[in-house]
């Protein structure tokens, strides 16, 4: 008998541990959820697939990986002591510092002892007789809890296209979201990168300086904007610490919970001269100001959007020396902002290097992976290393990859076959006491994660304080939310591209709005209202 089978049988024969709550995931949301549930006095266990805390910042260690949110807005706001103790080194912090930060949080609040690491959850099954969930791990270990919180992240279920021959390649292969801890030596090597999304945009300019030769396989060019990162001075650090209340108040008022908010003017009602001056001013800003600080109709009016999109195209053309390469890098088939806007440092300049080649896979599709490299319709490229920067089954993927069974054995994956069906993105009818702490609102991850975790905590407090054993949305309220979320999304540019925002990057996945497109303050107000009215849109028993 294989060791893994023996281990699983041994785990199944052991007593089943019971907890008040189980939290799946020890990233940004999971750590804070553990903190809040422990505050309630609950017995709680965290289950983490990885060997340490951090979630995104544990798994994504590829060169160039960093925040695209300003560091002072991404950190937790729940503890003033934590805010005063931690110093950010860069305005847009890199992966290693982010992982250190989340480890510091775990140790600062004694959360590590609540977490069981290297614990891959394969199923969660609801028992209506006891109002308890039974959770099973890959190793056969089982445990029970009244409440389960899936804090599994929005970009954590990695996706690799099913290329023919993918297992035959004789060189090194990496997916950017499962990067090794040890530094990968690219010196003198022939490297192929598949994908030009936000991850690749961070990776490519870093490794281009190290490799012997780099070939980038691009399907869809993106509207990439300058990050404009830099070190945080001592004076700026002191200003952050002195003004955190104002910073957090500000980001809770803005559309996307960033430091930017939309210009209240309509783009085409402003003279062309003033409009271009505004665009130039936005372009000089760090971060998402070019997107979320733009004219208010940039995401709702196609003509306004196209006006700025052409401005961005010209910026791209100006940075790439070869006009033919520049045109391949210029997006023409989707509106600006309908896909995530990658923030970059020297990305376009990488294509000016003699050791970098851009391959358009729309012109020459990838046919297969070979033992020597990648075969397109036109030719075979030989590599020592292939990097898959091919993204994620976003928002829903990490949830539906767990076999979750609710009342009557209903499968959550089957229920969500045509798109996520929830109320507020947090609970699904027929799955009592299951909470989804993954931020599906269109906003700064930590800010929204904190508000979702606090809502879940208050709901659990309400259930227990009032003698109930379970909570789940009514089907009527869930239907109304899904209809509302789809209607809001349809009024924006989010439906204008084959992006992960609507699940279009995954073959066979139903197209549906995976992000709630209303401003973050509107989303939080709806969550607050749902609790303030006594959870009348929920079944409490």
- In this prediction, residue 422 has a pLDDT band, given cuts at 50, 70 and 90, of very high
**How many whole angstroms from its chain centre is CA 409?**
29
DSSP assignment of 123-166: EEEEETTTTEEEEEETTS-EEEEEEEEE---SS-SB-----TTG
Q: Which of 270, 268, 329 is nearest to 298 (CA)?
A: 268
Q: Which of 296, 303, 292, 295 is nearest to 337 (CA)?
A: 292
3-53+111-157+394-540: CATH superfamily: FAD/NAD(P)-binding domain (3.50.50.60)
524: three-class secondary structure by DSSP: helix
Report the chain's C-alpha Rg in angstroms: 24
| pLDDT tens digits, 90-128 | 999 999 999 999 999 999 999 999 999 999 999 999 999
| pLDDT tens digits, 430-483 | 999 999 998 778 788 899 999 999 999 999 999 999 999 999 999 999 999 999
Burial of 510 (0-12, 13-18, 19+ CB in 10 A): middle
Cα distance between residue 326 and residue 72, in whole Å:
35
| pLDDT tens digits, 148-206 | 999 999 999 999 999 999 999 999 999 999 999 999 999 999 999 999 999 999 999 99
Q: Region 229-244: what's the mean pLDDT?
A: 98
| pLDDT tens digits, 256-298 | 889 999 999 999 999 999 999 999 999 999 999 999 999 999 9
First to last CA, the chain: 46
List 66's β-bridge partners, or say none: 94
| pLDDT reading at 348 higher than 80 | yes
Could you count the other beta carbons within 10 Å of the beta carbon of residue 168?
A: 11
pLDDT at 226: 98
Cα distance between residue 254 and residue 50, in whole Å:
34
pTM (two decimals) = 0.96
Residue ranges of domains in the chain: 3-53+111-157+394-540, 160-391
- 46-to-34, 110, 139, 358 alpha-carbon distances in Å: 7, 13, 16, 44
Q: Which of 326, 362, 373 is nearest to 347 (CA)?
A: 326
- 529-to-257, 453, 466, 486, 533 alpha-carbon distances in Å: 19, 16, 19, 20, 6
- In this prediction, residue 13 has a pLDDT band, given cuts at 50, 70 and 90, of low
pLDDT at 1: 45
Let me know: does 305 contact 337? Beta carbons within 8 Å. yes
| pLDDT tens digits, 379-421 | 999 999 999 999 999 999 999 999 999 999 999 999 999 999 9
Which residues, in sequence order, are CB contacts of 97 under 8 Å at separation 6+?
A: 88, 89, 90
DSSP assignment of 411-449: BHHHHTTTS---BTTTB-TT-TTEEE-S--BSS-HHHHH
206: three-class secondary structure by DSSP: helix
Which residues, in sequence order, are CB contacts of 525 under 8 Å at separation 6+?
A: none
Q: Region 20-26: what's the mean pLDDT?
A: 98
Q: Region 78-88: what's the mean pLDDT?
A: 98
Q: Region 300-312: what's the mean pLDDT?
A: 97
Let me know: does 98 contact 54? Beta carbons within 8 Å. yes
- What is the signed CA dihedral for 6, 8, 12, 15, rounded to 10 degrees? 90
pLDDT at 11: 56
pLDDT at 2: 56
- In this prediction, residue 9 has a pLDDT band, given cuts at 50, 70 and 90, of low
Which DSSP symbol is given to 210?
Answer: T
pLDDT at 6: 56
Cα distance between residue 433 and residue 136, in whole Å:
17
pLDDT at 4: 54
Q: Which of 73, 49, 61 is nearest to 97 (CA)?
A: 61
pLDDT at 438: 86
Phi, psi values for residue 481, rounded to 5°: -65, -45
pLDDT at 12: 59
Cα distance between residue 290 and residue 90, in whole Å:
20
| pLDDT tens digits, 125-146 | 999 999 999 999 999 999 999 9
Q: Region 368-374: what's the mean pLDDT?
A: 98
């Amino acid at each position: 008998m294989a060791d893994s089978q023996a281990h699983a049988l041994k785990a199944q024969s052991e007593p089943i541990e019971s907890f008040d709550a189980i939290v799946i995931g020890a990233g940004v949301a999971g750590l804070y959820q553990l903190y809040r549930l422990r505050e309630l006095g609950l017995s709680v266990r965290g289950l983490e697939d990885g060997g340490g805390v951090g979630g995104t910042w544990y798994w994504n260690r590829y060169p160039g990986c960093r925040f695209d949110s300003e560091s002072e807005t991404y950190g937790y706001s729940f503890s003033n002591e934590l805010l005063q103790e931690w110093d950010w080194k860069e305005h847009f912090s890199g992966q290693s510092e982010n992982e250190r930060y989340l480890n510091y949080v775990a140790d600062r609040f004694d959360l590590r002892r609540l977490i069981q690491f290297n614990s891959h959850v394969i199923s969660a099954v609801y028992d209506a007789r006891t109002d308890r969930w039974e959770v099973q791990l890959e190793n056969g270990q089982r445990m029970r809890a009244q409440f389960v919180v899936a804090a599994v992240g929005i970009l954590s279920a990695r996706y690799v296209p099913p290329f023919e021959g993918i297992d035959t390649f004789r060189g090194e292969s990496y997916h950017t979201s499962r990067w090794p801890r040890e530094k990968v030596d690219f010196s003198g090597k022939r490297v192929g990168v598949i994908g030009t999304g936000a991850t690749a945009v961070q990776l490519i300019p870093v490794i281009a300086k190290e490799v012997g030769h780099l070939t980038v396989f691009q399907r869809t060019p993106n509207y990439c904007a300058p990050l404009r990162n830099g070190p945080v001075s001592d004076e700026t650090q002191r200003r952050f610490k002195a003004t955190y209340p104002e910073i957090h108040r500000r980001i809770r008022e803005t559309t996307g919970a960033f430091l930017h908010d939309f210009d209240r003017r309509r783009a085409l009602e402003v003279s062309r001269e003033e409009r271009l001056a505004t665009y130039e001013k936005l372009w000089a800003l760090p971060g998402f100001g070019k997107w979320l600080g733009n004219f208010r109709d940039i995401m709702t009016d196609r003509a306004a959007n196209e006006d700025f999109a052409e401005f961005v195209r010209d910026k791209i053309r100006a940075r790439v020396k070869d006009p033919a390469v520049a045109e391949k890098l210029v997006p023409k088939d989707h509106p600006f902002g309908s896909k995530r806007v990658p923030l970059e440092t020297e990305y376009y300049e990488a294509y000016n290097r003699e050791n970098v080649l851009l391959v358009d896979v729309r012109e020459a599709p990838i046919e297969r992976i070979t033992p020597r490299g990648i075969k397109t319709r036109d030719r075979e490229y030989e590599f020592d290393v292939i990097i898959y920067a091919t993204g994620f089954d976003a928002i829903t993927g990490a949830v539906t990859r767990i076999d979750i069974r609710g009342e009557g054995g209903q499968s959550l994956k089957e229920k969500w076959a045509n798109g996520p069906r929830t109320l507020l993105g947090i609970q699904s009818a027929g799955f009592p006491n299951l909470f989804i702490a993954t931020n599906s609102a269109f906003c700064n991850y930590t800010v929204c994660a904190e508000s979702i975790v606090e809502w879940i905590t208050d709901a659990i407090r309400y259930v227990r304080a009032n003698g109930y054993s379970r909570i789940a949305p009514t089907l009527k309220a869930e239907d109304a939310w899904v209809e509302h979320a789809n209607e809001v999304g349809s009024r924006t540019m989010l439906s204008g591209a084959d992006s992960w925002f609507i699940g279009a990057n995954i073959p066979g996945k139903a197209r549906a709005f995976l992000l709630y497109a209303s401003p973050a303050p509107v989303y939080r107000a709806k969550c607050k209202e749902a609790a303030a009215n006594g959870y009348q849109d929920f079944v409490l028993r």
